[in-house]
Amino acid sequence: MSRSTAVRAAVLATVLVAAVVVQLVVGLPSQAEVRTALDGLGPFEVPVFVAVYVAVCLLPAGPTALLTIAGGAVLGFGVGLVAVLVAADLGAVAAFALSRVLGRGVVADSERAWVRRLDARVRDHGFATVLVARLVPLVPFSTANYAFGLTSVRPAHYVAATVVGIVPGTAVYVAVGAFGSEPGSLPFLLAIGGLVLLSLVGLAHRRRGGQRGGPAPEPPSPGAAPPGNG
């Protein structure tokens, strides 16, 4: 590993550790606190929510699912869905770019066979790999953003698959927030059913892909062991 690669990797590690420390020490606002903070902002309500969401996406373990539910509760289904989709896409691109610039060299220079094989699979099946990861609610969104930045997936494939792949899950979580005050209502029950369905379909796709030797839904994350999957 070259010195410049090591320095960039150290900077990325420092940024991620600092973000985790801030998250643990400061904590994140609850749904009630989000609602209180946005009340009275008028036309700035949506931009402020988007900005907060993007910032949460930059936390390596940011609870984006909880914030998505809060967005539905605070902004309603229609506005909340659009706001979350825009914010999630912006946050995903920002974290990916940061990881790609600072950390990609570590994976590119790795001499471990399993790292090279996995990186090649992500490169060759980039769109499908990212799409499956986005469709499976069990794959941590923020962590995946940084992890994909370490791989050789093409940025265009990453962005396109993210834009398409997050729509179903986002709609479900926003609906949970928007209709959560009526847990017996049809929209809420449909949202819960959609969440379960997405999980089952995504996991089944992953299992088939593994049996065929197809794309793996999760790329290697910093310090992760060889692949062994809110």
pTM of the model: 0.78
Q: Find the domain containing 119 and state its range.
A: 3-212
CB–CB of 162/92 below 8 Å?
A: yes
pLDDT of residue 179: 82
Number of domains in the chain: 1
DSSP 42: G
CB–CB of 177/73 below 8 Å?
A: yes
CA atoms 36, 73, 40, 52: torsion sign: positive
Could you report the per-residue pLDDT of 61-120, keeping only the tens digit for each? 878 888 898 889 889 889 999 999 999 999 999 999 999 999 888 888 777 888 888 888
What mean pLDDT comes out for the span 25-50? 80
pLDDT of residue 219: 47
The span from the CA of 110 to the CA of 126, in Å, is 19
Instruction: Please give the residue that has the higher pLDDT: either 95 or 28.
Output: 95
Residue type, 70: A
The band of 230, judged by pLDDT with boundaries at 50, 70 and 90, is very low
CB–CB of 217/130 below 8 Å?
A: no
218 within some domain:
no
pLDDT of residue 199: 65
Instruction: Please give the residue that has the higher pLDDT: either 33 or 217.
Output: 33
Could you report the per-residue pLDDT of 158-177, keeping only the tens digit for each? 999 999 999 888 988 898 88
The span from the CA of 84 to the CA of 53, in Å, is 8
Could you report the per-residue pLDDT of 127-139, keeping only the tens digit for each? 988 988 888 766 7
220 within some domain:
no
227 within some domain:
no
The span from the CA of 92 to the CA of 163, in Å, is 10
The span from the CA of 8 to the CA of 14, in Å, is 10
pLDDT above 80 for 217? no
9 within some domain:
yes
pLDDT of residue 61: 80
Give me the chain's average pLDDT, please.
80
What mean pLDDT comes out for the span 184-195? 69
Distance of CA 144 to the CA centre of its chain: 5
CB atoms near residue 98 (< 10 Å): 18
